[in-house]
Structure 1
Amino acid sequence: MTLPVFDAAAIERAVTSRLVLDTVRAALIAHAEGRTSVPPPLHLDFPEADGDCHVKAGRIAGAADFTVKIATGFYGNPARGLPANHGLVCVISARTGAPRALLDDRGLLTAWRTAAAGALITHAMARPAAGTLAVFGTGEQARLQALWLAGLRPLGPVLVHGRTPDKARALCEALAAHGLAARPAAAAEAARADMIITATPAASPVLDAAMVRPGAHVTGIGTDMPHKNELPPALFHRARLIATDDHAQCLDHGDFGHAVRAGSAAEDADIAAGLLLKAPVDRPDTAITVADLTGVGALDAALASAVLRRLRE
């Protein structure tokens, strides 16, 4: 029997943002409630090519399938006319162990589940009246974070901070094409937004914790390997509420772990992000809140299964 292979074009035609958001939300809640199985991810680093590779596996208890996913980020690719991200997902029966399908998505499902997780947790943790968004980063994930959050709440000005002015302007133009009022901003201005999302491969913090104002929410999504670091430890020291998508992962190679090792946060200072999606967040308007998202294999499993069902319909 030939293993079915579905390419990125077929996946894009079949999947809606609502399917992704609902699936990721349910998977984050399941993970927070201990209804998942997620082994530690495998990391490979390619410094000579400015690239990295992640292999993640996971399942949700009772689900018919589990998945093994390969996702790569080679950040010099755009200069070569190639996408920065690639990947594929193997969907495997949890009852027989037989592979069911290969989703040759070129990293699309990883991008979508990351965008959905970031948007969901930012929306849940930010003040209801928060409107100004700052995005640190100028790549595809920075674009998706802004667009998916805009689908959950009204956004005022979107401030884009990037190391390359041309890329920052290009992202602003792309967001403007979707009706968002976006403009480039210096790091100090961006750090004072109501909501901040960092989506970079940075190895050192991209914003100054002292510039983040009371009442702001910050979501970091780029620190998914030990050598990466987007959010400064001092920000966690100022935070009233800290959420992590996976406690052990974030301690091992997330920004939360950097803060704990620096003595800026206690090891038990975090709460599972999925629990915050089940009930409204109790937060004073002046509180700073932070979410550290490192990517959980159970989300990949849930989304791949949902996508495969849709494709086979």
Structure 2
Amino acid sequence: MTLAVFDTAAIKKTATSQLVLDTVRDALIAHAEGRTSVPPPLHLDFPETDGDCHVKAGWITGATDFTVKIATGFYRNPALGLPTNHGLVCVVSAHTGQVRALLDDRGLLTAWRTAAAGALITHAMARPDAVILAVFGTGEQARLQATWLAELRPVSTVLVHGRNPHRAAALCDDLISRGLPARPASAQQAAAADMVITTTPATVPVLDAAQVREGAHVTGIGTDMPHKNELPPALFHRAELIATDDHAQCLDHGDFGHAVRAGATARDGDIAAGLLLGTPVDRPDTAITVADLTGVGALDAALASAVLDQLLH
């Protein structure tokens, strides 16, 4: 039997942002409730080319499929006229072990999963009246975080901070074309927003904890390997509520782990992000809240299976 292979065109034609958001929400809740199987991710680092590779697998208890995913990020690629991210997802039957399909998504599902998780958690943890968003980073993920969060709550302004002013301006133009007012901002201006999402491959913190205002929420999504670090330990020390998508992963290679090792917060000072999605978060208006997301294989499994079901029907 010929193996079914679906490319990005087919996936984009079939999957909607609502399907992705709903699937990722349910998978985060399942993971928080212990209804998943997620082995530690495999990481490869390629410092000579500023690249990295992640191999993640996951399964939600009772689901018909599990997945094995390869995702790469090579951060010099834009200068070569190539996309930063690439990869594919192998969807396997959890009943027979037979490969059902390959999703040749070139990293698309990883980007969507990451964007959905970041938007869902930011929406859940930010103040209900928070409307000013800042993104650190100027790539696809920064755009997705802003546009998908805007599907969940009103966003009045997007502040964009990036090392390259031309890319920051280009992202602002893109967001404006999508109906989101946006403008470039300094790191200090961005750190003072109501909601902050960091989307970089940084190895040192991208913002100053002292510049984050009381009542703000910060989500970090870029620290997915031990050598990366976006959020300073001092921010976790200031936070009244810390959420992680996976406690063990975030301790091992997330910003939360950096903060714990620095003595800024306790090892058990976090709550599972999925537990915050079912009911409104009880947070004082002056509280600083932080989410550390390292990417969970069960979310990839749920999303790939949901997309494949759409493709086959």
TM-score range normalised by the length of the shorter chain: over 0.9
State the distance in 1 between where 2:262 and 2:106 align: 37
1:145 partner amino acid = Q
- Counterpart for residue 249 of structure 1: 249
d(CA) in 2 for partners of 1:273 and 1:82?
34
Aligned to 2:127: 127
Provide the rounded CA distance (Å) in 2 between the counterparts of 1:64 and 1:189: 47
The corresponding residue for 2:197 is: 197
Superposed, 1:1-150 pairs within 5 Å as 1-150=1-150
Which amino acid letter does the alignment assign opposite residue 101 of structure 2?
A
Structure 2 SS opposite 1:159: strand
Equivalent in the alignment of 2:233: 233
Specify the alignment match of 2:154 in structure 1: 154
CA distance in 2, matches of 1:104, 1:283: 41
Q: What TM-score do you get using the length of structure 1 for normalisation?
A: 1.00
Letter in 1 for 2:245: D
1:301 aligned partner: 301
Q: 2:216 matched to which residue of 1?
A: 216
How many residue pairs get aligned? The number is: 313
The 1-side partners of 2:285 and 2:72 are apart by 39
What is the SS of the residue equivalent to 1:230? coil
TM-score (norm 2): 1.00
- Look up the equivalent residue of 1:152 and give its one-letter code: L
Report the CA distance between 1:184 and its aligned residue. 0.2
Per-residue CA shift, 1:241-292, capped at 9, x if unaligned? Answer: 0000000000000000000000000000000000000111000000000000
- How far does residue 76 in structure 1 lie from its aligned partner after superposition? 0.4
Between the aligned partners of 1:278 and 1:29, the Cα distance in structure 2 is 8
Q: Percent identity?
A: 81
The letter of the residue matching 2:200 is T
- Aligned to 2:152, the other structure's residue is in SS state coil
Amino acid at match of 2:94: A
Q: Which residue identity does 1:20 align to in structure 2? A: V
Matched residue SS, 2:193: coil
Residue 267 of structure 1 aligns to a residue whose secondary structure is: coil
Q: Which amino acid aligns with 1:94?
A: A
Aligned partner of 2:269: which letter? A
Q: Which amino acid aligns with 1:175?
A: L
Residue matched to 2:286: 286
One-letter identity of the residue aligned with 2:112: W
SS state at 2:275 partner: helix
SS at match of 1:207: coil
SS across alignment from 2:277:
helix
Measured in 2, the distance between the counterparts of 1:188 and 1:11 equals 39
Shift of 1:157: 1.3
Give structure 1 regions of 4+ aligned residues with deviation exceeding 6 angstroms. none
Provide the C-alpha distance between the structure 2 equivalents of 1:64 and 1:185, rounded to a whole number of angstroms: 46
Q: 2:252 corresponds to which letter in structure 1?
A: D
In structure 2, what is the Cα distance between the partners aligned to 1:25 and 1:153?
16
| Alignment partners' CA distance in 2, 1:49 and 1:2 | 36
Consecutive unaligned residues of structure 2, counting only runs of 5 or more, are: none
Per-residue CA deviation, residues 289-308 of structure 1 (Å, 9 max, x unaligned), is 00000000000000000000
Structure 1, gaps ≥5 residues long:
none
Tell me the distance in 1 between the aligned counterparts of 2:29 and 2:46.
Answer: 34
In 2, Cα distance between equivalents of 1:180 and 1:12:
22
